């Protein structure tokens, strides 16, 4: 275990030398306090091993190890096997990048979840701080005593900041530490407002109470906006899950039916002088089906991005729906294609 940890640390320090990826700040936002180099190195090695395993699949399945350039083989065998080698390398690279993207998106959603949880309880927390201040507590003890385990990440960051600053030594430093742990502009502005209120000597309890009411009103307004745009999200889902698979399945079945009619006409229709579908078609049903899969997957990707922008104002937020929506859309396309094909066969 110690050997693996040292390997991970060496790999991670090589990749993220001088913290060029900004990973230290990102992991801090996610509430991850592991060794940064070990964390990065372990995930890089996992992605690399999966990529290598996938890259070897075409070679092991089709037994083309004997066509590698360093072996004594003929040019014909080498030319015959190169497509499998290229496919393996491409699939391995794609797998590596996809796994890296999955790790990144997982980190992104952790950060966003912490932000949401903190902003949800922030008004209640501020009202508890106000109650402590009116009970006669000093500002930072009132701030710290207001934290509760049910506040989740906010309570964790307050306790961590208090431990780093030795309790009550530096109020400004403690407040700065709290805002460093959560990627929330609202929390950052709140602690800055609290710090400036303490320094200016104003009526801090009244200021914080007004701030809590303002944050709550803003959250209610955001909830109303989300509920108002939910109709657009449902409409986009209906298009990509029902309408688009149905239209694409009709297109595939039309091309297939047209090809069948043309073949029958060539078989005996021309002898009778029937040339209803005499024009030629340049695409096949197989090509149309592959094109339908491509259009469907790309459309689902764009729709999920739009869903994220509409619901949360962030394009990456909707990407978590890409895989389940793609599966449902492909299943709907397959079912629609089978139903339409059965109906056309029965009519014919």
| pLDDT tens profile 222-260 | 888 888 788 888 888 899 999 999 999 998 888 888 777
Mean pLDDT, the chain, whole residue set: 81
**Taking 50 as the threshold, does the pLDDT of residue 70 lie above it?**
no
Model confidence band, residue 282 (pLDDT cutoffs 50, 70, 90): low
**What pLDDT does 97 receive?**
93
Greatest mean pLDDT range, 73-87, 162-176, 240-254, 334-348: 240-254
CA distances from 247 to 98, 236, 237, 251, 296 (A): 30, 15, 15, 6, 11
Model confidence band, residue 318 (pLDDT cutoffs 50, 70, 90): confident
Q: Which residue has the higher pLDDT, 268 or 121?
A: 121
pLDDT, average across residues 342-346: 78
CA distances from 64 to 55, 73, 90 (A): 12, 11, 16
**Taking 80 as the threshold, does the pLDDT of residue 285 lie above it?**
no
- The angle subtended at Cα 197 by Cα 181 and Cα 145, nearest 5°, is 55
Model confidence band, residue 278 (pLDDT cutoffs 50, 70, 90): low
**What pLDDT does 264 receive?**
67
**What pLDDT does 165 receive?**
65
**What pLDDT does 327 receive?**
93
Alpha-helix runs per DSSP H in the chain: 2-15, 23-29, 36-62, 75-134, 139-145, 153-164, 171-180, 185-200, 204-238, 244-264, 285-312, 322-347
User: What does the domain layout of the chain look like in residue ranges?
Assistant: 2-110, 116-220, 224-347
Distance CA(335)–CA(323), nearest Å, equals 18
Model confidence band, residue 72 (pLDDT cutoffs 50, 70, 90): very low
Q: Characterise 34 by phi-psi region: left (phi > 0), alpha (psi -120 to 50), beta (else).
A: beta
Running DSSP on this structure, what letter comes out for residue 242? I
**Taking 80 as the threshold, does the pLDDT of residue 110 lie above it?**
yes
């Amino acid at each position: 275990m110690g050997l693996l940890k040292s390997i991970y640390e060496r790999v991670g320090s090589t990749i993220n030398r001088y913290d060029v990826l900004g990973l230290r700040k990102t992991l801090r936002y996610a509430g991850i306090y592991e060794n940064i180099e070990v964390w990065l190195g372990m995930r890089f090695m996992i992605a690399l091993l999966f990529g290598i395993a996938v890259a070897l699949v075409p070679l092991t399945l089709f037994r083309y190890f004997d066509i590698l350039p360093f072996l004594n083989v003929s040019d014909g065998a080498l030319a015959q096997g190169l497509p499998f080698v290229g496919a393996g390398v491409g699939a391995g690279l794609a797998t590596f990048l996809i796994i890296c993207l999955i790790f990144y998106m997982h980190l992104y959603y952790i950060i966003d979840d912490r932000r949401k949880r903190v902003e949800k309880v922030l008004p209640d927390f501020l009202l508890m701080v106000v109650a402590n201040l009116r009970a006669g507590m000093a500002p930072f003890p009132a701030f710290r005593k207001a934290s509760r385990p049910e506040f989740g990440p906010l309570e964790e960051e307050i306790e961590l900041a208090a431990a780093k600053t030795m309790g009550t030594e530096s109020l400004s430093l403690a407040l700065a530490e709290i805002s460093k742990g959560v990627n929330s502009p609202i929390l950052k502005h709140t602690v800055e407002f609290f710090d400036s209120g303490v320094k200016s000597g104003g009526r801090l309890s009244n200021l914080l109470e007004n701030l809590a009411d303002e944050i709550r009103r803003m959250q209610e307004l955001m909830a109303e906006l989300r509920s108002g745009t939910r109709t657009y999200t449902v409409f986009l889902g209906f298009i990509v899950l029902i309408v688009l698979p149905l239209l694409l399945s009709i297109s595939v079945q039309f091309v297939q039916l047209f090809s069948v009619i043309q073949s029958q006409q060539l078989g005996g229709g021309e002898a009778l002088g029937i040339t209803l579908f005499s024009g030629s078609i340049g695409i096949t049903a197989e090509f149309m089906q592959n094109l339908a899969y491509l259009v469907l997957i790309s459309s689902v990707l764009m729709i999920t991005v739009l869903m994220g922008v509409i619901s949360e104002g962030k394009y990456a937020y909707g990407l978590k729906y890409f895989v389940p929506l793609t599966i449902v859309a492909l299943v709907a396309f397959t079912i629609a294609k089978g139903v339409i094909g059965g109906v056309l066969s029965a009519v014919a």
